Amino acid sequence: MSSDPTGRKAVAAVWRIDSARIIGALTRYTGDFALAEDLAQEALAEALVTWPREGVPANPAGWLLTVGRRRAIDAFRRRSTRDEKYAALAHRLSEGGALTGATEPGPAPDDVLWDPDQIDDDTLALIFTSCHPVLSREAAVALTLRVIGGLTSDEIARAFLVPTATVQARITRAKKTLGAANVPFEVPPVAQRPARLAQVLSCIYLIFTEGSSASSGDEVMRLDLAGEAQRLARILSRLMPEEHEAHSLLALLELTAARFPARRGPDGETILLEDQDRRRWDRSAIARGRAALAKAADIGRGFGYYGLQAAIAECHALAPSVEETNWDRIVVLYEALGRLAPSPVVELNRAVAVSMARGPAAALPIVDDLAGSDAFKESHQLPGVRGELLRRLGRVDEARTALEQAIRLCGNEREREVLSRKLANL
């Protein structure tokens, strides 16, 4: 039979949609996260060979899980033919049968490949495992995109502008670290859940932040990365409907992404907020974001770290223009955010809001107080903001010095272009 190109496309689509459920189910069956991820990758490789040649099976996800589980049995058989895990997994499997989906008759009613009542639990447990605090930030991000997002190592590497080998090494180290720490495959107990959920939210937010404001390269945004973070946030808010910060994070991501269509010009250049055509903002994303924020508010615990940021994004989304934005409310929200989670970045953003609400003279002392912060030692953000404030105050020479420093520190080519235009305009 000739190769069918739609087969490879089907493999990619099924993997992107169901990889988390497949890996989660295999982890539950084997009790070994690292082994389950390897088994799922082996099943994926077999599908890439078989489906284009023999056709897409009637139950693609079930096919992948069947192959993965049989590979697990083979692995346990190699370890020990009398191993208890092998016996528990294999006792209901019929003898013989094809290993490919094209001729596979499908599981009998009493041989369910995954329990529909456990699918969500498996996926949620997988999210908490891939974002476990024993992992480094880089490893957690790579592992989350791999096992939850279904991205390949090449795709992750392209998104973060690092070599594929670097991503593969991070994933390998992450799996070894989880195994060495005996991290259980489970949704954390109630007492541990707030801290663990914060780790998960932070991981998703980090993915979105890198996608929405690329730290390096020649693109101001990486929409595939930001979009994957939005998808992860939607999954999490569905799996944890009573967690207000899960809804808040989704709201923040939707409201921020709503401005993406207006952030780039025809040649890919960055368009600043004050110059954006707000008619190009995605109104459906704004509606989704506001609905998620309302859901978070309805849960009734007050806005947290992501809720306050989402409320700020909502102020921008509702304003007809920069001048008509409710900057006083944004200042208050940043003050609340600073009390909840003090950081130099929050304080710098508050300074920008103060400059819009009360003028640059009121904001400049706030920025100057941050000059010694280690958070901005290698960042262009503080000198960029300071240069703009000095420009508005008419202190041109000082503004030029600050902008030149910002250009030297900026790692993103498109943002350097914006700073260079400001410098030229002086």
| Chain segment 361-376, per-residue pLDDT in tens | 999 999 999 987 888 8
Over 80: is that where the pLDDT of 169 sits?
A: yes
The answer to whether residue 103 scores a pLDDT higher than 60 is: no
Flag the least confident range among 58-67, 80-89, 120-129, 327-336.
80-89
Range(s) within the chain of domains with CATH label 1.25.40.10: 331-425
Percent of the chain residues topping a pLDDT of 70: 87
pLDDT of the residue at 212: 81
Return the pLDDT at 98: 37
Q: How confident is the model at residue 219 (pLDDT cuts 50, 70, 90)?
A: low
Provide the mean pLDDT of the chain: 85
- For residue 386, pLDDT beyond 90: yes
Tokens coding 108: 């009998």
- Structural domain 331-425, CATH architecture: Alpha Horseshoe (1.25)
Higher-confidence residue: 264 or 78? 264
**pLDDT tens for each residue of 184-195:** 998 898 888 888
Residue-wise pLDDT tens digits, 3-30: 566 778 888 888 888 888 899 989 988 8
CATH 1.10.10 fits 5-82, yes or no: no
Question: What pLDDT score was predicted for residue 111?
Answer: 43
pLDDT at residue number 332: 97
List pLDDT tens digits, range 190-213: 888 888 999 999 999 989 988 887
pLDDT of residue 95: 42
**Where in the chain do CATH 1.10.1740 domains reside?**
5-82
pLDDT for the residue 118: 55
Quote the tokens at residue 381.
């953000």
